[in-house]
DNA sequence: CTGAAAGCGCTTACAG
DNA sequence: CTGAAAGCGCTTACAG
């Protein structure tokens, strides 16, 4: 099947290629009647502009890039990324932008991808995930002047645009809720320590525990996998002065923690309260369903995409705050049973 | 930062743009010494070819497309797609191909996306997921002559290339295993009925149950969500002659089923054995860990990508069989407790 | 082995 | 409001 070109449309319409281009782009230069006729013909013969030709002459790729830097096994299990991507996608496709995805092994590889994308003019901008402490990707992107929106912060995003949510407030609210239930020994199973949001949560956790006088507050580090989350839980629950509540940095670890508690003969929430971060459907899959900190992830992705498109269009890079995660209490939290 | 072009490289090397192009493409037309010098200069000044210019002149997009047709909520929870994508990605990026992703609402929207991608020359080929019974995407792709590999089958893939795994054999093995344990009342919670692989599994289930004389074998339909999977399980377990074993079409429904069983006071595996399809890390997250039918999904994705690239390169469309899912027995299956 | 030139399909000043 | 033409950055026959 031969692909129709702009010349085919022009010929059919009896106008020049330039006129067709103006009509397609909604620019002045053609009368409204002509524009309508041209558009009708384009639709009729199933014409779509070559993205390559368009990119070459208009110097716009019509695509944005997302590089995911996590090992394949973590990527698969956490619903977070798919939810984010579906939101990004919804926003992009409504504006006829494509999403180019790449899985990378580490931040250096990710920088190399950005450099290549920039050189190839393959994307108009990128969405940056998993902001780290002292993140080498930030200066690299600034140097390339590749439009970018960092999903993360606040802080550590340099001159780049960013979209962040107030994890500190969410964590503080959670601890206050647990304390209100009567908990005094609260532990936290954190994600990777070099991620910026882990750091933010860790600081907030320390601050609220200090303020509320929780001396036994302990944070243990993990890597978001169920395996590690389970192991960390086993360690916490085996300690002499075991916690009566644990807050997990993602849902997968929380589910693993629940299963470890049950395996050790503890009742949830009687002996142990559990709170998960990221309220995916997984939290409602288990018994008891997990109390979780959640927010609308697809909306977050859509928001980031919209912001990136604005930056691509030349608007100044801003630091935008998204919805704060809110706590949905379910069956996994209750007052601690006296022992 | 100004992006270097092929002309910059040519000038630095003191050769023509054509020579640089030949050197970059590994084609004859330049001496080995010149080629090395050109490549060194290209690396030195950080040159990458414009994907747009390349696509326009070489008529190759350097990208393949993947349209995902599932509601956002299902997409997020099932680890299957992320695992598949990571495998696809690994194969593509090793060959410098990009992956263009799009989430669509239904098959018609998906066909529209294919048509647009084709018109825009945005992708060189597509990977087709979730093959349906009498799938309208197949004739549409055949008509467009857009290179494609259908992930699914056997059967129903028209003249297109396809990659399939023998789900019938896997399900048969599973039922035989359960019968060997002593189960006689086996139920199956199936995925969406119009998916080709659901149909294949349903037929295989009916066949093996007939062969082994299991008169109480029952299949109930669901939609892959935990919610529906849980509901289906509740229905099954409330029936007078409730099954002693249930096979689920994905891991999410199996986990929901486990939780429903526990909530109804049944012991797994004592009162009920559970088998999950798709052996993701989720299966090892719960207690007891789930016996599951699994295979290497990233490898499956990589295999499909490799096959698509071959089709794009002009090789004939074949029907390739991938690894058959194998059963990994864990704590959720045992001989039925006599009652 | 190398160079000059046409062409891929658009966009966009520039004249009319 | 419209047309003719240059140009985006490559690839690829075609001469030398």
A52 touching B (Cβ < 8 Å)? yes
Domain ranges within chain B, ordered by starting residue: 6-49, 63-157, 167-296
pLDDT given at position A153? 85
- What is the architecture, at CATH level 2, of domain A167-294? 3-Layer(aba) Sandwich (3.40)
Looking at residue A76, its pLDDT comes to: 67
pLDDT in tens, chain A (339 residues): 678 899 889 888 888 888 899 998 888 878 888 889 999 999 998 899 999 999 998 888 999 999 998 776 666 677 888 889 999 999 999 898 999 999 998 999 999 999 999 999 999 999 999 999 999 999 999 999 999 999 998 999 999 999 999 999 999 999 999 999 999 999 999 999 999 999 999 999 999 999 999 998 999 999 999 999 999 999 999 999 999 999 999 999 999 999 999 999 999 999 999 999 999 989 999 989 999 999 999 999 999 999 999 999 999 999 999 999 999 999 999 999 875
Kindly report the nearest CA distance between residue B47 and chain A, in angstroms. Answer: 6
pLDDT for A279 equals: 92
Contact status of B299 with chain A (Cβ, < 8 Å):
no
Considering all nucleic acid strands, name the nucleotide whose C1' atom is nearest to the C-alpha of residue A56.
D8
DSSP assigned state of B241 = T
Task: Answer whether B137's CB lies under 8 Å from B106's CB.
Answer: no
Query: What homologous superfamily is domain B167-296 in, according to CATH?
Result: Response regulator (3.40.50.2300)
In sequence order, which residues have a C-beta less than 8 Å from that of residue B48 and are 6 or more positions away? A115, A116, A118, A119, A120
CA distance A286 to A227: 17
Residue A58 CA to C11 C1' — how many Å? Answer: 6
Q: Can A6-49 and A63-165+297-321 be said to share one CATH topology?
A: no
- Nearest CB among A4, A99, A103 relative to B89 is that of A103
Three-class secondary structure of residue B275 per DSSP:
strand
A164 contacts A156 by C-beta, under 8 angstroms: no
Q: Which two tokens stand for residue A206?
A: 């320390």
Set of chain B residues whose Cβ sits within 8 Å of the Cβ of A260: 287
DSSP A96: T
Out of A1, A284, A297, closest to residue B144 by CB: A1
Q: Does domain A63-165+297-321 have CATH number 3.90.230.10?
A: no
Q: Which residues of A touch B86 (CB under 8 A)?
A: 72, 75-76, 103
Q: Residues of A numbered 1-40 whose beta carbons fall under 8 angstroms of chain B's beta carbons: which are they?
A: 1, 3-4
B169 Cβ contacts chain D strand, under 7 Å:
no
For A222-253, the pLDDT digits (tens) are 999 999 999 999 999 999 999 999 999 999 99
pLDDT digit string (tens) for B159-196?
Answer: 999 999 999 999 999 999 999 999 999 999 999 999 99
Identify the pLDDT of residue A72. Answer: 62
Q: Which CATH superfamily is domain B6-49 in?
A: lambda repressor-like DNA-binding domains (1.10.260.40)
pLDDT tens digits along A288-323 = 999 999 999 999 999 999 999 999 999 999 999 999
Query: Which residue of chain B is at minimal alpha-carbon distance from A52?
Result: B52
Which H helix or E strand runs over B189? strand B186-190
Task: Give me chain B's average pLDDT, please.
Answer: 93
Rounded to an integer, the average pLDDT of B202-210 is 97
CA distance B3 to chain A (A): 6
B72/A225 Cβ within 8 A = no
Question: Mean pLDDT over residues B82-109, rounded?
Answer: 92
- B23: Cβ under 7 Å from strand D? no
Domain B63-157 architecture: 3-Layer(aba) Sandwich (3.40)
| Contact between chains at B51 and A82 (C-beta distance less than 8 A) | no
Q: What is the pLDDT of residue B30?
A: 84
Please name which of B99, B95, B51, B63 lies closest in space to residue A124, comparing C-alpha atoms: B51
Across the interface, which of A76, A262, A281 has its CB nearest the CB of B287?
A262
């Amino acid at each position: 099947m031969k692909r129709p070109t702009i010349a085919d449309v022009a010929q059919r319409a009896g106008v020049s290629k330039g006129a067709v281009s103006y009509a397609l782009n909604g620019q002045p230069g053609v009368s409204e009647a002509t524009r309508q006729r041209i558009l009708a013909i384009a639709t009729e013969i199933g014409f779509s502009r070559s993205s390559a030709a368009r990119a070459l002459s208009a110097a716009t790729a019509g695509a944005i890039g997302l590089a995911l830097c996590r090992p394949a096994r973590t990527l698969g299990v956490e619903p977070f990324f798919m939810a984010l991507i579906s939101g990004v996608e919804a926003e992009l496709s409504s504006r006829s932008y494509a999403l180019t995805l790449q899985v990378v092994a580490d931040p250096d590889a990710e920088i190399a991808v950005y450099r290549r994308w920039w050189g190839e003019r393959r994307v108009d901008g990128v969405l940056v995930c998993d902001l780290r402490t002292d993140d080498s990707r930030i200066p690299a992107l600034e140097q390339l002047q590749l439009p970018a929106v960092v999903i993360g912060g606040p802080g550590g995003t340099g001159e780049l645009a960013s979209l962040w949510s107030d994890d500190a407030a969410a964590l503080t609210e959670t601890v206050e809720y647990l304390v209100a239930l009567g908990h005094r020994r609260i532990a936290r199973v954190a994600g990777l320590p070099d991620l910026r949001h882990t750091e933010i949560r860790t600081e907030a956790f320390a601050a609220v525990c200090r303020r509320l006088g929780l001396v036994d507050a302990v944070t243990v580090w993990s890597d978001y996998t169920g395996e590690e989350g389970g192991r960390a839980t086993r360690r916490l629950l085996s300690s002499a002065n075991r916690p009566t509540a644990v807050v997990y940095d993602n849902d997968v670890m929380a589910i693993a923690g629940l299963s470890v508690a049950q395996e050790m003969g503890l009742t949830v929430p009687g002996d142990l309260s559990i709170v998960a971060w990221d309220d995916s459907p997984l939290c409602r899959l288990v018994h008891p369903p997990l109390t979780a900190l959640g927010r609308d992830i697809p909306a977050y992705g859509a928001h980031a995409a919209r912001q990136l498109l604005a930056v691509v269009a030349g608007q100044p890079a801003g630091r935008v705050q998204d919805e704060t995660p809110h706590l949905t209490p379910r069956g996994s939290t209750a007052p601690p049973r006296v022992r």
